[in-house]
Chains A and B, each alone.
Chain A
């Protein structure tokens, strides 16, 4: 009985700690310049570069715009937090608190999830207000945004693991990963219309599945079977969490 109570209390404490980490990250990192540049300005300029002067129906662009915004925003917070804390000399105290590494990692993932999920509302409102796009399957749209934000945020936290001299090195690394995946994920061009090699590569990107669900939410034909996308996003998230755990544990004391 006492063991059960202790375990329950430990779980409660860790869950509470995770929420404290989310709050700390929101206070400290949501408005940091790298998050604003790579999380908000990047997708806006990518969208403008893609859309301006091209004869593409606006309704077709909206799901891709939302998926791209979600990709950048949800994965922008994670790569900043740990490198910033290392550089600011606050990381050692954080990892010597009675919080498990899992709680810290899940807290960082939660920060990206909330940031990405909340900001994805902006392109949805713009799309609904200024184009003929309409949500026909709200459940699929929400599923795509939530699972997408979760896996993208986890990718961001995994990318934060390597010890780096400065946060900008990790932001560069994260863009080296995010940008190529962006172009093979059917955001700008439906996967079915992409070259053969790109269609082979598309399934290795979580963005492909999240984008597909969002597209289905707007009544467009999905490329993957509808059941496959949520499953793949959950598999991606689980694998990325395992990787984040492994590498954050391995490198936690490096560069302190």
Chain B
């Protein structure tokens, strides 16, 4: 994905109010073709409301968005023709067979008969479900139902795929398969809008992430850049062979911003973790202390997430 790629989703000043509650407040972002865009936020932050506005389930109170150039308010049907969504709580039709589920969704999107039959069979095969195509969907486990949901979304040949917590509650094997499939889809040109609580998943898969908190976008960038923007959250992790020395001594080392100890390991936060690691080594040698473990650590996306969502809460409290 490059910045020259055309914009597929363009969100401008999106607002949603439920009575006196503003669930989404002026959200803005754009997503380019072939991105896997992560949308992160705590429960109640406005993630699902934003997705529901983009997928036509909810009408925005103010602002708008375009999907492939079609306004979600004035050209709702055209904008929805370019997308498919797999909501977190969604389910397949349990009383229909796997094949009927896939064909039904293809028909609702107007996919020609021959194409939906051929593509539907390919998708079921790719998801390991073709042998079960005549079974009722209620006989499937949660992981297999999630695969079937993905088949029903993909048979429509969407240009944009909205996935809401696609691996939540799945076994390791199903979750891994779905992540692999999502990556393949993205490599084949589908733009992915991924809502997730799983920070590792977001970090591994997303080209950019937006963090939403209390209905507002708190940060939006590549995961690596978001991490590097939090230099003060980098730290040196050290474990001494005979237990940690007093925290004040370590806190006095040059470049150390704060000290935190946990289960025998000490975290020395610093904007220059390399320099602090060297200082720790000298400190240990001078005092005759053995070092069992010494490493520098950068902030995880989870740290970034907590940083930005916490920051907004503090602002709101003020």
On A, residues with C-beta under 8 Å from B are: 10, 13, 16-17, 20-21, 23-24, 27-28, 88-90, 92-100, 252-253, 256
The residue from A13, A17, A28, A100 contacting B96, defined by CB atoms under 8 A apart:
A28
Residues on the A chain within 8 Å of B55, using CB: 96
The number of chain B residues with a CB under 8 A from chain A is 29
Verify B57–A92 contact, CB threshold 8 A.
Answer: yes
The residue from B85, B93, B104, B110 contacting A96, defined by CB atoms under 8 A apart:
B85
Verify A93–B77 contact, CB threshold 8 A.
Answer: no
User: Given A28-B96, A88-B93, A256-B57, are A98 and B109 also a contact pair (CB < 8 Å)?
Assistant: yes
Verify B94–A88 contact, CB threshold 8 A.
Answer: yes
List 11 interface pairs A-B (beta carbons < 8 Å), by A numbering.
Answer: A17-B108, A21-B108, A27-B96, A28-B95, A92-B52, A93-B86, A93-B90, A96-B56, A96-B83, A98-B108, A98-B110
CB distance from A245 to the nearest CB of B (A): 14
CB distance from B93 to the nearest CB of A (A): 6
On B, residues with C-beta under 8 Å from A are: 52, 55-58, 77-78, 80-81, 83, 85-87, 89-96, 100, 104-105, 107-110, 152
CB distance from A148 to the nearest CB of B (A): 29
**Measured between alpha carbons, how far is A96 from B89 in the docked complex, in Å?**
14
The 3 lowest CB-CB distance pairs between A and B, nearest first, are A89-B91, A96-B55, A98-B81
The closest CB in chain A to the CB of B156 belongs to A97
Residues on the A chain within 8 Å of B77, using CB: 10, 98-100
Residues on the B chain within 8 Å of A27, using CB: 95-96, 100
**Measured between alpha carbons, how far is A252 from B92 in the docked complex, in Å?**
19
The residue from A20, A21, A89, A98 contacting B80, defined by CB atoms under 8 A apart:
A98
Verify A96–B57 contact, CB threshold 8 A.
Answer: yes
Residues on the A chain within 8 Å of B96, using CB: 27-28
Verify B108–A97 contact, CB threshold 8 A.
Answer: yes
Verify B90–A90 contact, CB threshold 8 A.
Answer: yes
Verify B56–A95 contact, CB threshold 8 A.
Answer: yes
The residue from B78, B90, B91 contacting A98, defined by CB atoms under 8 A apart:
B78
CB distance from A106 to the nearest CB of B (A): 14
**Measured between alpha carbons, how far is A89 from B86 in the docked complex, in Å?**
11
**Measured between alpha carbons, how far is A27 from B94 in the docked complex, in Å?**
12
**Measured between alpha carbons, how far is A23 from B52 in the docked complex, in Å?**
26
Residues on the A chain within 8 Å of B57, using CB: 92, 95-96, 252-253, 256
Residues on the B chain within 8 Å of A88, using CB: 91, 93-94
Verify B58–A253 contact, CB threshold 8 A.
Answer: yes
Residues on the A chain within 8 Å of B107, using CB: 16, 20, 23
The residue from A24, A89, A97, A98 contacting B89, defined by CB atoms under 8 A apart:
A89
**Measured between alpha carbons, how far is A252 from B86 in the docked complex, in Å?**
18
**Measured between alpha carbons, how far is A17 from B110 in the docked complex, in Å?**
8
Verify A24–B92 contact, CB threshold 8 A.
Answer: no
The closest CB in chain A to the CB of B89 belongs to A89
**Measured between alpha carbons, how far is A24 from B89 in the docked complex, in Å?**
21
Verify A92–B110 contact, CB threshold 8 A.
Answer: no
Residues on the B chain within 8 Å of A20, using CB: 104, 107-108
| Extra 20 A-B pairs, beta carbons < 8 Å, given A16-B107, A24-B104 | A20-B107, A27-B100, A28-B93, A28-B95, A28-B96, A89-B90, A90-B91, A90-B93, A92-B52, A92-B85, A92-B90, A93-B86, A93-B90, A93-B105, A95-B57, A96-B55, A96-B85, A98-B110, A253-B58, A256-B57
CB distance from A12 to the nearest CB of B (A): 9
**Measured between alpha carbons, how far is A10 from B75 in the docked complex, in Å?**
12
